[in-house]
Chains A and B, each alone.
Chain A
Amino acid sequence: MDLTFNAEERAFEQEVREFIAANLTPEIKRATALTPSVFSDPDIGMAWQRALHKKGWGAPGWPVDHGGPDWTPAQRWIFEAESARAGVPNVNVMGVKMVGPVIIGFGSPEQKNYYLPKILSGEDYWCQGYSEPGSGSDLSSLKTRAVRDGDDYIINGTKIWTTHAHHANRMFALVRTNDTERQQDGISFILIDMKSPGITTRPILTIGGDHEVNQVFFDDVRVPVANRVGEEGKGWTYGKYLLEFERGSGIASAKLRDALKTVSDLAESEATGRAIDDPDIAVRMSEIEVDIDTLEMTELRVLSALQTGQNPGAVSSLLKLRVSEIRQAVTRLGVEVIGNDGLYVEPIRPLYRLNEEPGIPEELLPVVPEYLNSRAYTIFGGSSEIQREIVAKMVLGL
């Protein structure tokens, strides 16, 4: 057993560092630091996507014949860790990490040729149409209907909690194409052009003051049958495949460590009156850091299993649970660290484009919005209660 990376991997690490140093502008770095959500605004995220694409690193998890960089699991680890350490923005995860792998796995040759290059280049921006007002945790009860009419489906219904629908030009959605005894069997996976007539989008503001999610309405929206991925009625299988990616995309510890580092720096600064001198805060900081050490080690165990071709299995639910809880612990500690400055509310967004100087030091601005935003972590992508059910079923066989 060996916890260290070999010489080749060290050289790759150096290459990643050099790439980031050459491409991550101070403006993008500052905008990312001042973004309360993990989802960067498209102008920030897509600028980074274009830089990655130019280097051939636009889609780390994809197979090489679709434009992936052909990295080993260790290289992916190093890339993610270095990216987190440097504070790079998030690219359009709904494209690169969610719909991309589904199209690669189950799409037609035409779909692959048409959509994948546009994800890589950053030309397309994707959103995810899964949840509905009546179908949250019980996703397979979804009612948005696609009725066959010649070469088209006609779609009616509504999707909700759609992150960045107001930025996206494309949506991948689960829709009901059949009424079947088992409700999962009547669901299909479909790709929708957001400019199609009949689609309207309503913003939903979240408690942190951000416009991140939306409700999307479909009123007789025509979508070619050719936009269905895979077989009719198999959408649930494809959708679950994607959720496993969403939950266990594997490498979160580096991001969390970076977030804790930010809180720790604030706690050691005069801006917070050196909050770290409060022994309770110092110990809580250690507790969270140890939790991140633990998560990192679990991620490395998964990585090691992947390298030897083993399937890590239901561990993705386990990781999702801990990642979301640790994220909340970090942001909660941040609120405590900044003390009275946490009472200041800045309603303007984005925070990196304020016209006037804020009433508190700039670096404190995202702290409370980040905490408020992080409350969603234990809810989206399958709530913690659902994840515990999955662990009970898949890990414990209950």
Chain B
Amino acid sequence: MDLTLSDEQRMLRESADRFVTETYDADHRKRSANDPLGFSAGIWKQFADLGWLALPISEEHGGLGGGAIEIGILMEAFGRGLVSEPYLSTAVIGAALISECGSEAQKQALLPRIADGSLFLAFAHSERQARFDLADVRTTAKKTPDGWRLDGHKTAVLDGNAAGQIIVSARVDDGRLGLFLVPHGASGLTSRDFPRLGGGRACNLDLRDVRVPTDALLGDGSDALPAIEAVVDRAMAALGAEAVGIMQTLLDQTLEYTKIRKQFGKPLSANQVIRHRLADMAMQCDEARSMALRAALMADAEPVARGRAASGAKAKIGKCARYVAEQSVQLHGAMGVTEELDIGSYFKRLLAFDTLFGGSAHHYRRYAALGGRAIQA
């Protein structure tokens, strides 16, 4: 039992904090928002140089072999700066899907390119009818003489516009889920790209008679659902850490503002109703921190414990995030609802966090279902 950071982890945190503080501000975010990519290719190169893209990849494939704790350290810093580079899509989800499902040849071909920054990935899984049920996939993959034919629709494909390869989930003839590498601009692939709530971009995909070769299927074709669940659990742990960074920033800024802003001849923070609100916000930030850490520590546990930790974290952090975000706007008064302050940007990123992979109600249900209802005492 030891929850203290190692020296390497402390150094990672320091360098991530420094980089984010020096690089990201409101002007930077405006530039990214107007960029067709939704982020800066130059910064992605710096991520590669800093070793952050190699971090989650195993050492045998040219990576640094970092785990969920290291990813969480980066994501928390990214939250503080509202970083819009597609770290989650490429380095967390994409790299993990290839590591979990890919053949050795696929890993050798793709993972080093993630590490050196030359390959962007996106995960096309969600479908409209599924809401947040990971097992509900209607997109089909039919075997053809020279490969596969994909048909279906995908929604909320994060960073799909920038991806060189999109990992598309589809139901194979025998009912199993397969993951297919579909290159950017493939014939029959229509993408509707849009700016994403809270920063970055996403797209909806339409696949009509998309033909890919036999080796576009990741791995040997065994059912990909368990791997998808594992990777999404890890993604939720990472997003939880990012939410912690966002919430902490909102708390810090709101605290500062209530000390400076004077009404009735005294600072807002001299009023007990405000002080207690801030105390509650601080408490919920700390609770979110506990749950993000817990989900990261359980990221490689057996599936039920891992799933409960991830869903518990997503549900709880979502609840805390709504409180901290809404009260931050409230305590900034009318300024809080304007585009003139950063508060709104952080607020919207937390709203997006709450939606991604399902909200609190969905995850309380999953937590209960995985527990078989009996309390795990």
Contacts and interface: CB of A to CB of B under 8 A. Distances in A.
Given A307-B2, A398-B278, A297 B290 contact: yes
A210 to B, nearest CB: 26
A283 B1 contact: no
Nearest to B373: A276
B279 interface: yes
Given A286-B365, A298-B290, A391 B282 contact: yes
A304 B368 contact: no
A4 B1 contact: yes
A318 B286 contact: yes
Contacts of B276: 385, 388-389, 392
At the interface, is chain B mostly helix, strand, loop or mixed? helix
A293 B317 CA distance: 12
Contacts of A385: 276
Given A283-B365, A301-B293, A303-B1, A294 B282 contact: no
Nearest to B291: A294
B373 A293 contact: no
Contacts of A396: 255, 275, 278-279, 282
A205 interface: no
Interface in B278-306: 278-280, 282-283, 286-287, 290-291, 293-294, 297-298
Contact of B4 (A5, A285, A308, A321): A308
A264 interface: yes
Nearest to A310: B4
B375 A289 contact: yes
A290 B279 contact: no
A294 B290 contact: yes
Interface residues of A, number: 47
A85 interface: yes
B1 A74 contact: yes
Interface stretch (A155-163, A174-182, A255-263): A255-263
Contacts of A298: 286-287, 290
B3 interface: yes
A264 B374 contact: yes
Interface string B298-336: 100000000001001001100000000000000000000
Nearest to B270: A398
B234 to A, nearest CB: 16
A290 B364 contact: yes
B371 interface: yes
A304 B294 contact: no
Contacts of B375: 257, 260-261, 264, 285, 289
A389 B275 contact: yes
Interface in A301-332: 301, 303-305, 307-308, 318, 321-322
B293 A268 contact: no
Contact of B275 (A289, A294, A305, A388): A388
A118 to B, nearest CB: 34
Contacts of B283: 318, 321-322, 391
Contacts of B1: 2-6, 9, 74, 77, 300, 303-304, 307
Given A1-B5, A291-B316, A398-B269, A268 B373 contact: yes
A287 B364 contact: yes
A398 B259 contact: yes
A395 B69 CA distance: 25
A77 B2 CA distance: 13
Nearest to B287: A294
Specify which of A85, A276, A289, A300 lies most central, judged by the most chain B CB atoms within 10 Å of its CB: A289
Nearest to B251: A396
Contact of A395 (B279, B365, B368, B371): B279
B44 interface: no
B361 interface: yes
Contacts of B377: 85, 257-258, 260-261
A282 B364 CA distance: 9
B78 interface: no
Interface string B212-224: 0000000000000
B47 interface: no
Contacts of A388: 275-276, 279-280
A282 to B, nearest CB: 6
Specify which of B298, B309, B374 lies most central, judged by the most chain A CB atoms within 10 Å of its CB: B374
Interface in A263-302: 264, 268, 276, 282-283, 285-287, 289-291, 293-294, 297-298, 300-301
B367 interface: yes
Contacts of A322: 283, 287
A6 B2 CA distance: 10
A65 B175 CA distance: 68
Nearest to B272: A389
Interface string A233-272: 0000000000000000000000001101100100010000
A22 to B, nearest CB: 21
Nearest to A387: B279
Interface in A67-118: 74, 77, 85
Interface in B259-278: 259, 269, 272, 275-276, 278
Contact of A392 (B279, B286, B315, B374): B279
A286 B282 CA distance: 23
Contacts of B316: 290-291, 293-294
Contacts of A291: 316
Nearest to A4: B1
23 contacts: A1-B2, A1-B69, A2-B1, A3-B297, A3-B298, A6-B1, A74-B1, A257-B375, A260-B375, A264-B374, A289-B376, A290-B364, A291-B316, A293-B291, A293-B312, A294-B290, A297-B290, A298-B287, A308-B4, A388-B280, A392-B276, A392-B278, A395-B279
Interface of A: 1-6, 9, 74, 77, 85, 257-258, 260-261, 264, 268, 276, 282-283, 285-287, 289-291, 293-294, 297-298, 300-301, 303-305, 307-308, 318, 321-322, 385, 388-389, 391-392, 395-396, 398
Given A261-B375, A264-B375, A287-B315, 16 more contacts: A3-B294, A3-B297, A77-B1, A268-B374, A283-B364, A283-B365, A286-B315, A286-B368, A294-B294, A304-B1, A307-B1, A388-B275, A388-B276, A388-B279, A389-B275, A392-B275
- Which 8 residue pairs across A and B have the least CB separation, nearest first? A304-B3, A297-B290, A391-B279, A261-B377, A392-B275, A388-B279, A286-B368, A264-B375
Interface of B: 1-6, 9, 69, 255, 259, 269, 272, 275-276, 278-280, 282-283, 286-287, 290-291, 293-294, 297-298, 309, 312, 315-316, 361, 364-365, 367-368, 371, 373-377
